[in-house]
Chains A and B, each alone.
Chain A
Amino acid sequence: MNIESANKNGKDVGFERIRRITGYLVGTMDKWNDAKKAEERDRVKHSLTK
């Protein structure tokens, strides 16, 4: 997933962002298609008040 051996100090190493997509989890959003990326960006949180 990450090019962990590229540089031991973390240069060019991104954060992993695990998100759910059609029921499945995906370990890095690099592999998401453009529409799903846009959908993820637009997701709003749901409050717990009635």
Chain B
Amino acid sequence: MIKSIVKRDGRVVLYDEAKIAAAALKALEASGAGDAALAAQVANAVEERLTAQCGSEPPKIEQIQDAVEQELMRAGCEDAAKQFILYRANRTRIREANTSLMRAIDEITSVDARVSDMKRDNANIDGNTAMGSMLQIGTAGAKAYNAAYLLTPEQAKAYREGDIHIHDFDFYALTTTCCQIDLLRLFHGGFSTGHGYLREPQGIASYAALAAIAIQSNQNDQHGGQGVPNFDYAMAEGVRKTFAKLYQSGLQDALEDVLDSYDESVLAKMAVDAGRAVTGEEPRLGTDTEDFDAAAAKVIADTGRLSDEAAAHMVKHVRARALRRTDRETYQAMEGFVHNLNTMHSRAGAQTPFSSINYGTDTSPEGRLAIRNILKAEDAGLGHGETPIFPIHIFKVKEGVNYNPGDPNFDLFEYSCKVSAKRLFPNYVFLDSPFNLQYYKPGHPETEVATMGCRTRVMANTAYPDAEIAYSRGNLSFTSINLPRLAIEAKGDEKKFYESLDAMLELVAQQLYDRFEIQAAKHVYNYPFLMGQGVWLDSDKLGPNDEVREVLRHGSLSIGFIGLAETLTALYGHHHGETDEMQQKGLEIIGHMREFCDKRSKQTGLNYGLLATPAEGLSGRFIRMDQKRYGKIPGVTDREYYTNSFHIPVWFPISAYEKIQKEAPYHALTNAGHISYVELDGDTANNVEAFEAVVRCMHDAGIGYGSINHPVDRDPVCGYVGVIGEVCPRCGRRSGEALSEEKLAELKKLYPNATPYCGCT
């Protein structure tokens, strides 16, 4: 006779036979056989078995569960026993998730981020702050829940064991990745971010301020970064409005000065109206200026209060002043924009938003002014000369627009190289590469490929073939495959490798589809800005309570990968940087994956694409697991990270030219996004011609998106920006060392313009 039992936490509680019967009944019902009477019999038998086993000692939970299993089997209910085993396994999984969740929260709460790798999973979050920690606790909780309840057992196993990586898994049930925000569409007619309404902006200062607000608002509706595909075209409109205002108010001021009168607003307005009647638009900088100015001057001279020459002279100077002030206001607006995006921790209170801006192709005078000034602001850096982290600048390179001498924006392309050689931004997206050029329609900036800074690219549109544009679209979710593991497991058998790759592609495609189903069932009210304000393509056609399914199909589902180099080494002994034969093998693998994505797109009407994954947390996750499984295989698992996507390994010596040639063909295959890097030393980067030559090499080789890395160090004490080894070349201190008061005073004399270490007098 059993009187009490021992629970898992050690507590002793009264034995309750009804609970055993209920559990047995559930298992019987799930297997579709048996009833309450049978369940009661099983419960009786369990008690007898336990009494025989334990005597007067109270049995433990695990013993009771074992007995239930055995008695179900003995009663001939194998299926019910199986159900009971599954139930136990599932409970165990959830219990273990809870325990590891508590352990994770314990680490987040009490361990310094500098010694906790988990807390540095995303370098944009400061894991030592209150909001940063709260964010990480939420992440840990959501991940535990999603793994236990939202994945199929097969998907959960693949994710848990490192066959695949489901990115932004904490947001699995909540939202989508990113969007290219068309600022012009958003601004026209005004918009709302919550309380109150923002009227359509009327000058460059508000255009830039609202651009930052749009990015910040949208990033709280999504888990990824936010891009602007048309920064120059959008800011140009603000520049135009500012110039028109300054032209008319400047005219009024000048008239009042010369005529010594109090209010010449009417005359100034009449003059501008006359100009507008001739050109059909507001006063512009650099377009139809002579006709406009002549018409305005005539109105003034016709009053008889000024001579023709005096009126023309006045208008000329008004224009020059308006241009100067527009330029200055634009610079300040761009400076404010960059500062804002680097300082406002508006992403869940703990991160600055991941932001990217694309520009370079607007050849209007206003667009050119905006481009020059955003570059100038990046060039100048932040308040103490620090290199801005955000936004990512992406310069769109296009022949006939800015690539060759004589192209209207060639000067801006050259300036961008100078800035990037100093500040690491802009990066470059190449519109002439065939896979980008196929979408390009002159006069339609929405067909210019724009990219997220991280590399996400959305252009093809199987769901809506008429909307193959960069604007108002983005990625929905992405999952990456551990390619090196498939290669290791194949043990040199190519056929086996491809078979397992196909199985993995199938699993990932299905998992992305399952996630899409969760995302698609959300409503407009779940995305108050992205959908509620019409930022996402066609969402303006939906009401607040509508499901977002149909418009979400504009987005992309991306299958990513890591470690092509290690994969090739595991399969064939070499990577694609070493031999041309391996390059062919590499292209076959990646081409095979792309084919799968294209096929799946056609079958489902969803935009499946192949992504050269931007792996941050992932770079170490897979290889740590694979080292445990397979040990350190030379060239495969013997480092702390797998090589990013299709890159030539970072440690492999190769010339910039060769690296670009080797990586370019993969850009054509990875239609969901790609990037190639070239690493230059600090001195080369100071050589702008060499820098530009590398960019041109990328363009000519058919790279889609590329950037050039070089060390940018700064000593906050003396303000030196450049390459710093162990010792700062300007002040001679080592990291963490103090300088004497005398030395600081001497430095201040030597570098009066250097941004001084704050606190120095």
Contact = CB atoms under 8 A, between A and B. Distances in A.
A46 B680 contact: yes
Nearest to B760: A8
Interface string A32-48: 11111011001111111
Interface in A1-49: 2, 4-5, 7-27, 30-36, 38-39, 42-49
A33 B424 contact: no
Interface stretch (B179-187, B408-416, B652-660): B652-660
Nearest to A49: B655
Contacts, number: 181
B454 interface: yes
Interface residues of A, number: 42
B737 A11 contact: yes
A26 B713 CA distance: 12
A4 B719 CA distance: 12
A15 B715 contact: yes
B650 A43 contact: yes
B93 interface: no
A16 to B, nearest CB: 4
A36 B620 contact: yes
Contacts of B693: 48
A10 B734 CA distance: 10
B760 A39 contact: no
B114 interface: yes
Given A32-B120, A33-B120, A48-B690, A39 B389 contact: no
Interface stretch (B52-60, B121-129, B582-590): B121-129
B173 interface: no
Contacts of A36: 123, 616, 619-620, 641
Contact of A13 (B114, B694, B717, B761): B717
Given A10-B717, A11-B736, A14-B735, A34 B117 contact: yes
Nearest to B455: A23
B733 interface: yes
Q: Which of A2, A5, A10: most chain B CB closer than 10 A?
A: A10
Nearest to B684: A48
Contacts of B126: 31
Given A13-B716, A13-B735, A44-B652, 14 more contacts: A9-B739, A16-B386, A17-B713, A20-B707, A23-B453, A24-B124, A25-B392, A31-B125, A31-B126, A33-B121, A34-B640, A36-B619, A38-B641, A42-B651
Interface of B: 113-114, 117, 120-121, 123-127, 354, 386-387, 389-390, 392, 424-425, 427, 452-455, 614-617, 619-621, 623, 639-641, 644, 650-659, 675, 677-681, 684, 690, 693-694, 707, 709, 711-717, 724, 728, 733, 735-741, 744, 757-761
Interface of A: 2, 4-5, 7-27, 30-36, 38-39, 42-50
17 contacts: A8-B761, A9-B741, A10-B739, A13-B716, A13-B717, A13-B736, A14-B736, A15-B716, A16-B386, A21-B123, A22-B455, A22-B616, A23-B453, A36-B619, A45-B681, A46-B659, A48-B680
